[in-house]
């Protein structure tokens, strides 16, 4: 009996000292970003790297950081074939400018396309430490009332769209493992 | 007379604190004491022997109901604005060592975590037994107990505010979302291992302290949320474990007495 009590006491104090310190684990899937993959327009199955792409949110001065270790301008630039961009968690649309070849010294070479993503969002419970996450559903394409579209692509400079085809791959944005949008150029 | 009173009082408090300090020594004395009791039933097998024993060595064990209240829960409401609660405790002495024990309580607790703020409100009942490990001298009635309880709580939870966890706050951190959604009709069940000390400080008044280790066995979680706090169980962890403690003041209502003969070996320093 003495041993049992000693064991239980040790256990009690052990349990109280190694109490979970309520920090959200970075591996926990929380609010997902929109994943966009780029493909060759002439060979739609071939991934294609973008050239010095900079993505800036509407009303923001700085672009999305793609390389946290990069230089002052370099960190906003990507040359990969897949990007992840965060959506607003408290609005039903988010607008981004996709600036192709943003670092080119020749202004004529820079091409900017603007895409407004339309969606609905929902808050989902994750855990005590992480709180809630927001998941998104892109609006369906509908030409009859109520008219809705998952995205609206515009070309403010009038120099032609560099994103020649934008195809929704997945309307439900609930994780970052899937490709949600495919862009062909 | 007054001296013995104070002596009893100090001893009772020493007993209470012995739970914290020098516990190993305390238990070893109890086991020794237990060994002496094991010999005890052998000697007084025949009833007529009672007359032969000196009146000094006859001890009366009092049996009855002890009712109390948890002072920790009761007073916490005064300094913690997020907490209101009360717990009534009761035990009934069944045999020399075994006590039937139960607790009944109400709690209203607002849990304010980094990312969540929720309020749990409800009542609970716990029932089980206590086993007294302590060998009392003379007419003392102190207890060092180990016991088990089954607990059941019925409660509601309200999600007050929450924050969105966004590892990429490009659009800035969103302020907490006010929700106010209420989840009713929640239930939970658990098992506890209880260790406690009860010391008699006045005639029938006891002061006690208890620690509980809990394990959830049933937990009806609301859809789209979690039970962050269960009345009676306290806060929940990722697993099914929980802990709790109480600090009780109780009153013993004697109902009947039983005579016990103390063997000659047990003759401690005369107190009276």
DSSP-derived 3-state class of residue A49? coil
Average pLDDT over residues A130-135: 92
Average pLDDT over residues A46-54: 91
Tell me which of B170, B176, B193, B195 to substitute to probe the interface with A (most A C-beta atoms closer than 10 Å): B170
Range of the domain at B240: 2-261
B178 part of a folded domain? yes
Tell me which of A123, A131, A134 to substitute to probe the interface with B (most B C-beta atoms closer than 10 Å): A131
pLDDT tens digits for range B222-238: 888 989 999 999 888 87
Contact A15 B241 (CB under 8 A): yes
Q: Which residue of B has its CA nearest to A65?
A: B170
Look at the alpha carbons of B170, B171, B172, B176 in this order and tell me if their dihedral is positive or negative: negative
B77–chain A nearest CA distance, Å: 23
Q: What distance in Å separates the CA atoms of residue B85 and residue B97, rounded to the nearest whole number?
A: 31
pLDDT tens digits for range A153-185: 998 888 888 999 999 999 999 999 989 999 998
Tokens of A31: 């609010």
Closest Cα to residue B194, out of B136, B143, B254?
B143
Tokens of B181: 């959604």
Which has more pLDDT, A72 or A141?
A141
Q: Which residue of A has its CA nearest to B227?
A: A128
C-beta of residue B86 within 8 angstroms of C-beta of residue B108: no
- Is some CB atom of chain A closer than 8 A to the CB atom of B223? no
- What per-residue confidence (pLDDT) applies to B19? 47
Residues in chain B with CB shorter than 8 Å from the CB of A134 are 164, 166
- What per-residue confidence (pLDDT) applies to B138? 73
Contact A57 B170 (CB under 8 A): yes
Q: Which residue of B has its CA nearest to A20?
A: B237
- Is some CB atom of chain B closer than 8 A to the CB atom of A17? no
- What per-residue confidence (pLDDT) applies to B36? 46
Residue B78: CB partners within 8 Å, gap ≥ 6? Answer: none
- What per-residue confidence (pLDDT) applies to B28? 41
B270 part of a folded domain? no
Q: What distance in Å separates the CA atoms of residue B103 and residue B25, rounded to the nearest whole number?
A: 30
pLDDT bucket at B180, cuts 50 / 70 / 90? confident
B271 part of a folded domain? no
- Is some CB atom of chain B closer than 8 A to the CB atom of A7? no
135-164 in A: which are within 8 Å (CB) of B?
none
B267 part of a folded domain? no
Residue B152 CB: number of other CB atoms within 10 A?
Answer: 17
B2–chain A nearest CA distance, Å: 35
- What per-residue confidence (pLDDT) applies to A47? 92
Contact A131 B193 (CB under 8 A): no
> Which residue, chain included where needed, has tokens 């920790």?
B72
Closest Cα to residue B213, out of B231, B240, B188?
B240
Contact A5 B27 (CB under 8 A): yes
Which helix H or strand E contains A23, and what residues bound it?
Answer: none
- What per-residue confidence (pLDDT) applies to A7? 64
Average pLDDT over residues B201-207: 90
C-beta of residue A155 within 8 angstroms of C-beta of residue A113: yes
- What per-residue confidence (pLDDT) applies to B257? 87
Average pLDDT over residues B79-108: 93
B17 part of a folded domain? yes
A123–chain B nearest CA distance, Å: 8
Average pLDDT over residues B149-171: 92
pTM higher than 0.90, yes or no?
no
C-beta of residue B198 within 8 angstroms of C-beta of residue B143: yes
Question: Which of A12, A26, A85 is opposite residue B243, by nearest beta carbon?
Answer: A12
* Residue B191 Cα distances to A127, B147, B232, angstroms: 24, 11, 11
> Which residue, chain included where needed, has tokens 């007294």?
B132
pLDDT bucket at A9, cuts 50 / 70 / 90? low
- What per-residue confidence (pLDDT) applies to B32? 45
Strand bridging mode A34-39 / B241-261: unpaired
> Which residue, chain included where needed, has tokens 């409800």?
B122
Average pLDDT over residues A49-71: 89
B204–chain A nearest CA distance, Å: 27
Question: Which of A11, A19, A33 is opposite residue B168, by nearest beta carbon?
Answer: A33
* Residue A45 Cα distances to A55, A170, B123, angstroms: 24, 17, 61
Residues in chain A with CB shorter than 8 Å from the CB of B115 are 24, 128-132
Closest Cα to residue B97, out of B64, B60, B134?
B134
- Per-residue three-class SS string for chain B: CHHHHHHHHHHHHHHHHCCCCCHHHHHHHHHHHHHHHHHHHHCCCCCCHHHHCCHHHEEEEEEEEEEEEEHHHHHHHHHCCCEEEEEEEEEEECCCCEEEEEEEEEEEEEEECCCEEEEEEEEEEEEEEEEECCCCCCCCCCEEEEEEEEEEEEEEEEEEEECECCCCCCCCCCCCEEEEEEEEEEEEEEEEEEEEEEEECCCCEEEEEEEEEEEEEEECCCCCCCCCEECCCEECCCCCEEEEEEEEEEEEEEEEEEEEECCCCCCCCCCC
- Is some CB atom of chain A closer than 8 A to the CB atom of B115? yes
- Is some CB atom of chain A closer than 8 A to the CB atom of B237? yes
Q: What percent of chain A is predicted at pLDDT more than 70? A: 88
Q: What distance in Å separates the CA atoms of residue B6 and residue B201, rounded to the nearest whole number?
A: 9
pLDDT tens digits for range B38-83: 444 444 444 444 445 455 567 788 899 999 999 999 999 899 999 9
Strand order in the sheet with A34-39: A82-85, A34-39, A181-184, A165-168
Average pLDDT over residues B14-37: 44
Determine the straight-line distance between the first and last CA of chain B, rounded to whole angstroms: 9
Contact A26 B28 (CB under 8 A): no
Number of domains in chain B: 1
Tokens of A69: 């270790």
Q: Which residue of B has its CA nearest to A4?
A: B146
Tokens of B154: 């019925």
Average pLDDT over residues A99-121: 90
Q: Which residue of B has its CA nearest to A127?
A: B226
B204 part of a folded domain? yes
pLDDT at B5 over 90: no
Residues in chain A with CB shorter than 8 Å from the CB of B24 are 2, 6
Average pLDDT over residues B142-156: 94
pLDDT at A16 over 60: no
CA atoms within 13 A on the CB side of B48: 0
- Is some CB atom of chain A closer than 8 A to the CB atom of B166? yes
A-to-B residue pairs, Cβ atoms closer than 8 angstroms: 110
Contact A130 B165 (CB under 8 A): yes
Gyration radius of chain B's alpha carbons: 24
B51–chain A nearest CA distance, Å: 35
């Amino acid at each position: 009996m003495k041993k049992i009590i000693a064991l239980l006491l040790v256990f009690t104090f052990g349990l109280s000292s190694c109490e979970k310190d309520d920090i959200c684990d970075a591996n926990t899937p929380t609010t997902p970003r929109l994943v966009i993959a780029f493909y060759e327009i002439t060979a739609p199955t071939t991934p294609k790297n973008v050239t010095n792409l900079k993505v800036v949110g509407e009303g923001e001065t700085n672009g999305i950081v793609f390389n946290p270790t990069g230089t002052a301008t370099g960190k906003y630039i990507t040359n990969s074939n897949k990007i992840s961009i965060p959506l607003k968690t408290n609005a039903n649309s988010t607008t981004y400018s996709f600036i192709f070849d943003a670092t080119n010294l020749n202004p004529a070479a820079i091409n900017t396309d603007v895409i407004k993503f339309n969606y609905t969002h929902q808050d989902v419970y994750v855990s005590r430490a992480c709180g809630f996450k927001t998941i998104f559903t892109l609006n369906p394409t509908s030409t009859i009332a109520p008219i809705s579209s998952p995205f609206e692509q515009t070309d403010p400079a009038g120099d032609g769209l560099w994103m020649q085809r934008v195809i929704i791959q997945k309307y439900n944005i609930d994780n970052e493992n899937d490709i949600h949008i495919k862009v062909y150029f | 007379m007054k001296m013995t009173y104070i002596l009893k009082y100090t001893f009772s408090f020493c007993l209470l604190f012995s739970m914290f300090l020098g516990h190993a020594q305390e238990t070893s004395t109890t086991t020794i004491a237990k060994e002496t009791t094991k010999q005890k039933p052998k000697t007084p097998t025949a009833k007529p022997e009672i007359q032969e024993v000196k009146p000094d060595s006859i001890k009366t064990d009092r049996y009855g109901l002890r009712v109390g209240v948890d002072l920790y829960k009761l007073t916490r409401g005064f300094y913690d604005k997020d907490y209101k609660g009360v717990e009534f405790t009761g035990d009934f002495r069944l045999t020399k060592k075994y006590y039937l024990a139960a607790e009944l309580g109400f709690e209203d607790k607002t849990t304010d975590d980094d990312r969540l703020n929720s309020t749990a409100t409800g009542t609970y009942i716990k029932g089980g037994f206590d086993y007294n490990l302590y060998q009392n001298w003379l007419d003392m009635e102190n207890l060092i107990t180990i016991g088990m309880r089954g607990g059941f709580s019925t409660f509601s939870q309200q999600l007050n505010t929450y924050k969105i966890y966004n590892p990429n706050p490009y659009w800035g951190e969103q302020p907490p979302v006010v929700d106010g959604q209420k989840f009713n009709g929640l239930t939970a069940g658990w098992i506890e291992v209880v260790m406690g000390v009860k010391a008699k400080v006045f005639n029938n008044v006891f002061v006690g302290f208890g620690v509980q280790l809990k394990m959830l066995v049933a937990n009806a979680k609301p859809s789209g949320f979690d039970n962050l706090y269960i009345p009676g169980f306290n806060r929940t962890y990722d697993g099914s474990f929980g802990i709790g403690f109480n600090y009780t003041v109780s009153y013993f209502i004697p109902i009947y007495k039983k005579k016990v003969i103390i063997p000659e070996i047990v003759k401690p320093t005369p107190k009276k």
